[in-house]
Chains A and B, each alone.
Chain A
Amino acid sequence: MEFNDKHVMGLKDLLYRMADDLLILGHRNSEWTGLGPILEEDIAFSSMAQDKIGQSLALYEILQELGERDPDTVAFTRNAEQFHSCYLVEMPIGEYDFSLVRHFFFDHQSALRMEMLVDTVVEPLQMVARKFKGEIKYHTMHADTWLKQLAATEESRLRIQTAINESFSMALGMFESSDYEKELIEANIFGGEDELKAKWYETVSEKLMAFGYTIPSLDSEASNGGRKGQHTEYLQPLLDEMTEVFSIDPAADW
């Protein structure tokens, strides 16, 4: 079917939310580099942070094909209110329990979203979904393995459970509806945030219960706003730091 303006706007919004989430969380998770709990985990977590930045680049490139500015400009020159990322990814790294739970919630969302996009009519997005399937699968395996491991002692189980309870409404904010849900679904671009949320909840609740945790109800209030450019006080300082070097000479050839 022919795309009209609303289809294109919906597709761009979808790509921006995915790319911005990955860029911001990739940057956040890289803050653990050198501080990870053990050397092996430090390397694994840093490497996954790098993967996320790489995935965001692939999505910004599709946006460029759709007429948006080049990836560097888009990544490094926008202000917080121009970002479509959710609250969950912009929160400071906190303690490792929070960072692991965020990793678990976010990466299962990411894996399921990409899985839904394997059949999208948007060919370059289909390619990206296929290309990163294995990479994202490792990210979810890594998150699952840690959460399972940390359920083993009462202190660690309690810390993870607290992080689950405290970050759950922000996790629901990943699925904030776009203004173009209907258009995305009817054009077979994307199955929609509601379908993704249902799949995600089924996956994460099954896993958490198997590991020995509880999960808040899907009816809990969602922390929405990020997808519409409203952000917490934590995003702008992150952007200032991330763009510090780029801003010295935006025209420099790297």
Chain B
Amino acid sequence: MDHFQTYEVFEQKKRGTHHIHVGSVHAPSSELAMMFAKEQYSRRGQCVNLWVVKTSEILATQYEDADIFETTASKHHRDPNSYKVMDRIKAFKERQKQNA
């Protein structure tokens, strides 16, 4: 069905949570894409809201540019796990246990 566009489908499982990409459908219009998306992806299980977005409307990065995501080895201080709090958490838990 090359003459139909594809639409990306995003499903929200609960109000207030993020919509999550679940797949795509072929359709002649966004309205029909929505009808198809409902049966393809939200037939079973919980869903409160659906989005469909024309695949062609999405701007994506190129895989050859994936190096832009690399973190420099010298910047580990940016990672949350670099903070030296584990000792204090362990000590806190230990105290909790003793008090219990």
- Interface residue ranges, A against B (CB under 8 Å): 38-41, 43-44, 47-48, 138, 141-142, 145-146, 148-149
Given contacts A43-B40, A138-B38, list 8 more A-B pairs with CB under 8 A: A39-B26, A43-B36, A48-B39, A142-B35, A145-B32, A148-B31, A149-B29, A149-B32
Minimum CB–CB distance for A6 against chain B, Å: 42
Say whether B43 faces chain A, with CB atoms less than 8 Å apart. yes
Task: Verify A47–B27 contact, CB threshold 8 A.
Answer: no
Task: Verify A40–B40 contact, CB threshold 8 A.
Answer: yes
Give Cα A38 to B35, complex, Å: 13
Say whether B1 faces chain A, with CB atoms less than 8 Å apart. yes
Q: Is the interface of A mostly helix, strand, loop or mixed?
A: helix
Minimum CB–CB distance for B72 against chain A, Å: 45
Which residues of A lie under 8 Å from residue B35 when comparing CB positions?
44, 141-142, 145-146
Task: Verify A145–B40 contact, CB threshold 8 A.
Answer: no
Task: Verify B38–A40 contact, CB threshold 8 A.
Answer: no
Which residues of A lie under 8 Å from residue B43 when comparing CB positions?
47
Contact of B1 (CB < 8 Å), options: A38, A138, A148? A38
Give Cα A48 to B39, complex, Å: 9
Minimum CB–CB distance for B98 against chain A, Å: 54
